[in-house]
Amino acid sequence: MAAIVWQTPANPPEPEDYIFLKGKRYVRPYYFEFISHVKNRWAGKTIVDLFTEEFRGRPYEYYESAVKSGRIQVDDKIVCVSYIVRSTQKISHFVHRHEPPVLAGNVSILHSEPDVITVCKPASIPVHPCGQYRKNTIVGILQAEHGVAPLFPIHRLDRLVSGLLIFARNADKAELFRQQIDAGLLHKEYIARVVGVFPEGEQVVDANVNYDAREGRSSVEVGDPRDNALEGKAACTRFLRISTNGTQSVVLCKPVTGRTHQIRVHLQHCGHPIANDDLYLCKTDFSIDPMCTNCPCLSPKGYGRDEEGLWLHCMRYSGPNWSYECPNPDWTVLN
């Protein structure tokens, strides 16, 4: 068996990492070391409690097993499940990553200058590494296929949104763009297809948006802005109906502020959610975690074992039973 090569955030995506099948872009499963450092608010917790509370993609039992087997380590050493973490310590989580597929559309560069590029983002691809995605991102694909790095996103588009993206090539240019955005010198417009007959004339939604990072979704808060109980950030969006067929409407969206999922949640708030937005169209369980350490026994939830699903599984196994091999047998256990 070949030695396991553990990738880290320092390893850039490569062209050979991608497989194209039936109109989708897949990423070859790979071994990856998630690296973090203990924040002050994490200090004093056991390693298992820390992961269970802060990284909710897996249950307590998984993290307990991962610590025992060495898949979770502290300062490059195996620890016991009752180990108490200290501030600034390095935490590693060794996994076998399976990134969800995205549409196989090209990420084309529309305009390029020494310190800025503009690209056309297809739908289904996240802008930068987040959650389940690392290589199947706009930043990752541009680096792998165009050799463009580093990149500093000036603004973001949700994964399911298509449109123009501007990237700075250096931190100074990115800061200049951010200053222009803060000064109101740059404006963004979106077009959305929504459910129902959207009202005529300009509609303004002025309601706080509260984003829950752990749940990955936003909610609207309505009330007196002076009420200290409101946790969301002030948000305002202007809408104008372009057309309607009596069942759905095409709407021009002009965000005055730039909160996470602002347009999506404001449209939901006014009774006209985006027509294919599963996150805000209805309540759905999105507790999908495609990462596994020993597959195909731990197959990602939400994917079948059809031809496409096979690319999301590790095919290197000898039978229904498996055991985990510690990445380095010389690691010692901290008590």
Catalytic residue numbers, as ranges: 158
From the list 126, 63, 127, the residue with the least C-alpha distance to 100 is 126
Q: Angle, nearest 10°, between helix axes 60-69 and 47-54?
A: 140
CA angle, 10 then 14 then 17, to 5°: 110
- Which residues is 96 bridged to in the sheet? 31, 292
Mapping DSSP to helix (H, G, I), strand (E, B) and coil, where does residue 248 land? strand
The amino acid at 108? S
d(CA 63, CA 50): 10
3-state secondary structure of 181: helix
What is the strand order of the sheet 30-37 is part of? 30-37, 90-97, 72-74
Cβ neighbourhood burial of 229 (10 Å; 0-12, 13-18, 19+): exposed
Question: Look-up: residue for tokens 């169209």?
Answer: 281
Angstrom CA distances, 103 to 137, 287, 297, 335, stand at: 11, 22, 27, 47
What DSSP character marks residue 308?
T
Cβ burial of 248 (10 Å; 0-12, 13-18, 19+) is middle
